[in-house]
Amino acid sequence: MKRKIIVYIATSADGFIARKNGDIDWLDRPRAAGNYGMADFYRSIDTILWGRKTYDVVLKMQRDGVKGATFDPHVKNYLFSRRMRSRPVKHVALVKESVPRFAKRLRAEPGRHIWMMGGGGLIASFLDAGEIDEFMVHVIPTMIGDGIPLVAPRRRLVPLKLRRSKRYSDGVVSLHYDVVKAPARGQTRRA
């Protein structure tokens, strides 16, 4: 099986993954039955990629005693940071390689798909390296006005192909896209 790197994430209706200060209070809402297919998705992955700021949010949630704020020891957790010098917590490995080198190595290892947890900074690093295969975005029917975008901003043109969309009873819409990869040099993009 070809391993894919998949962003599975929730955004506000206006495209943010958190408030500017990192708050995700607007995500604290009752879940629709089936939790938006989370269990099926989780069974399809065995690896999670964490940006350092998202990792810090989990650590803070742990300190605050938030239930479920853990790093699952049954999957491989990789943390990306350029600045971190201290060792990450148990069950988390700090990546020392560049994104392209890491992604190449990970894709060559046997295993299930890879969950790109985010946030927007790490997603941007992988997207700009051509290393995101799919986006599964759950759009929450709430606007928060300002915040951290799904992908850290810069000028880009990344075509997406819609695989599937699903509407849930609570107004959440999930959008499942393939990232249309630029053709390798010497090839032309097929329609």
Ligand X SMILES: NC(=O)c1ccc[n+]([C@@H]2O[C@H](COP(=O)([O-])OP(=O)(O)OC[C@H]3O[C@@H](n4cnc5c(N)ncnc54)[C@H](OP(=O)(O)O)[C@@H]3O)[C@@H](O)[C@H]2O)c1
CA distance 116 to 44: 13
- Give contact residues for ligand X (rule: CB under 6 A): 9-10, 17-18, 22, 24, 51-54, 57, 80-84, 99, 117-122, 125, 148, 152
Least spacing, CB of residue 99 vs ligand X, in Å: 5
Tell me which residue of 26, 14, 47 sits closest to 126, measured CA to CA.
47
Least spacing, CB of residue 88 vs ligand X, in Å: 11
Q: Using the minimum distance from each CB to ligand X, give the nearer residue, 85 or 185.
A: 85
The two three-digit tokens of residue 48, written as one number = 């999670």
Which H/E stretch holds residue 84? none
Q: Using the minimum distance from each CB to ligand X, give the nearer residue, 148 or 179.
A: 148
Q: Using the minimum distance from each CB to ligand X, give the nearer residue, 84 or 143.
A: 84
Evaluated on CA atoms 88, 69, 74, 140, the torsion sign reads negative
Tell me which residue of 52, 111, 41 sits closest to 76, measured CA to CA.
111
Q: Using the minimum distance from each CB to ligand X, give the nearer residue, 23 or 178.
A: 23
Q: Using the minimum distance from each CB to ligand X, give the nearer residue, 10 or 132.
A: 10
Least spacing, CB of residue 191 vs ligand X, in Å: 32
Least spacing, CB of residue 160 vs ligand X, in Å: 18
Q: Are 72 and 45 spatial neighbours (Cβ–Cβ below 8 Å)?
A: no
Q: Which residue is nearest to ligand X (CB)?
A: 119
Least spacing, CB of residue 164 vs ligand X, in Å: 19
Instruction: Compute φ and ψ for 60, nearest 5 degrees.
Output: -65, -40
Rounded alpha-carbon distances, angstroms, from residue 107 to 1, 71, 131, 170? 10, 21, 10, 36
